[in-house]
Amino acid sequence: MILYLTTFIILPINMLLLVAVCNLICILVALPILLIKWRKCYSRKREERQQRGTVVGIFHPYCNAGGGGERVLWAAVQAIQNKYPDVHIAIYTGDLDADPEKILSRTEKAFNVKLRPNIEFVYLHRRKWVEASMYPYFTLLGQSLGSVWLGIEALNSLPPDIYIDTMGYAFTYPLFKYIGGCRVGSYTHYPTISTDMLRYIYRRIVAHNNRRIIARNPFLSGAKILYYKLFAHLYGLVGSCAETVMVNSSWTEDHINSIWKCPLKTHRVYPPCSVEHLIKLPFLSDEEKGGCIRIVAIAQFRPEKNHPLMLRAMFELRSILKEEIWERVKLICIGSCRDAEDEARVKDMQDLAKHLALDENVEFKLNISFSELVSELQRGTIGLHTMWNEHFGISVVECMAAGLIMVAHASGGPRADIIETQAGSVTGFLAEDEGEYAKVLAYIIHMHPDERNAIRVAARSSVNRFSCQLFEKEFLRAVEPFFRAKQE
């Protein structure tokens, strides 16, 4: 009886093991065959496409957003056009509501960048799969896998010879390299995951990417740490598939090298900042500014930019300044809105300003032109930036070039690359919370004009290393091997 039961139990187990082994063998045999056939399919599509010569596909699903990432995109396109005029450039975008003329017109208006017409826009219909709103849980993983789905649509629409990602969708790199047969390059503004994010989870700090319910629960925090570590490992594997890696700051470079482990092919290429025009602006005296103390904040209306901190700092500043001085202070929040969520966020900020009784001292300016932006910078006295771990900070540089005294968060690119706070060579100030910001703002407001001018001059002298010309030179140096290989 026992022998019968043992046989009855062991036989199904053996059958299951046999089935599992057969399935594994089939997968190991079938998967490479499938990948080879898939790659041959894209190779054939590449030969049959209408475009002749080298095709560069640039993956930027939000190319019409009007932020710092888009400035880098269009400066990169312009650099390629200047050096390789015969190359065909395709932009993979999900901006279905904007035709090519509208996109190029906004680019010229917002960034003062004029482009040649040899640009093709490949419109993608699956962009919703990379939006955070699609994934209330496991957002990083969901967006990353969604980017692969979006990448497949891009590859099906037009297989390029050279693929450059300018938004940080690293999970698309193996797809374009091993299946699409493309040369792969990347420009990373911000690592999808960083050791700083892990540190926030370890310390159980509430942030826009660490909800209160998780931060307050040790079990949930432990589970999230494990999830982040596993995701970081995957992120490192896919990121290392890029043949040339460009990063926008030393802060980003440290994190990318730590996770992707590819320092020999990583290039630090500072973003293009419009310093050439701004450093020529004459400094205006307090009298020429009408006696108004304008604090200019330039940032897209995204949660990580932390506009509420600006408003709380202004609330604290009011308690420090005398009433007659406070009446002359005005915060000008300048930024672009990508979608309805950003517009709702602006409305929330306007409501918060009213709640804090700041509505008379705060003004919001959305999607303004480059010329209007320059006018605001020239009339400003102080620049304000509140994002924690800002990867670089183009607006920080441009405020300094225009002659504003910059106050930025004591983290990320502003602290590592841009602002010097050492006595004798001060180019701006750093702060962390609303109290510190308010004290620094009050200190600058009470400064003697000669002291302010000394900082403005030092700051303006320090920004040439972030010019558009230097970006073009360094960008082309990083991608030149791709084009050399095609020419050979």
Element at 128 (helix H, strand E): none
What six digits make up the tokens of 229? 């570590």
Q: Hey, what amino acid is at 58?
A: I
> Boundaries of CATH 3.40.50.2000 in the chain?
52-272+469-487, 275-465
Integer Rg of the chain from CA: 26
Q: How much is the mean pLDDT over the chain? A: 87
Which segment, 110-124, 195-209, 315-329, is predicted with the most confidence on average?
315-329
Query: Would you give the DSSP letter of residue 329?
Result: E
How far is Cα 408 from Cα 313, in angstroms, rounded to an integer? 12
How confident is residue 40, by pLDDT bands cut at 50, 70 and 90? confident
Q: What is the CATH number of domain 52-272+469-487?
A: 3.40.50.2000
How far is Cα 480 from Cα 80, in angstroms, rounded to an integer? 10
**300 vs 41, which has greater pLDDT?**
300
Query: Would you give the DSSP letter of residue 192?
Result: S
Using the predicted structure, report yes or no on whether residue 49 has a pLDDT greater than 80.
Answer: no
The second-level CATH assignment, the architecture, of 275-465 is: 3-Layer(aba) Sandwich (3.40)
Neighbouring-strand partners of residue 382: 295, 405
Q: Which residue matches tokens 């950003």?
A: 342
Q: Which residue matches tokens 């200190």?
A: 443
Q: Quick: pLDDT tens for 436-477.
A: 999 999 999 999 999 999 999 999 999 989 999 999 999 999
What does pTM read for this prediction?
Answer: 0.79
Q: Quick: pLDDT tens for 280-327.
A: 999 888 888 888 999 999 988 888 899 999 999 999 999 999 999 999
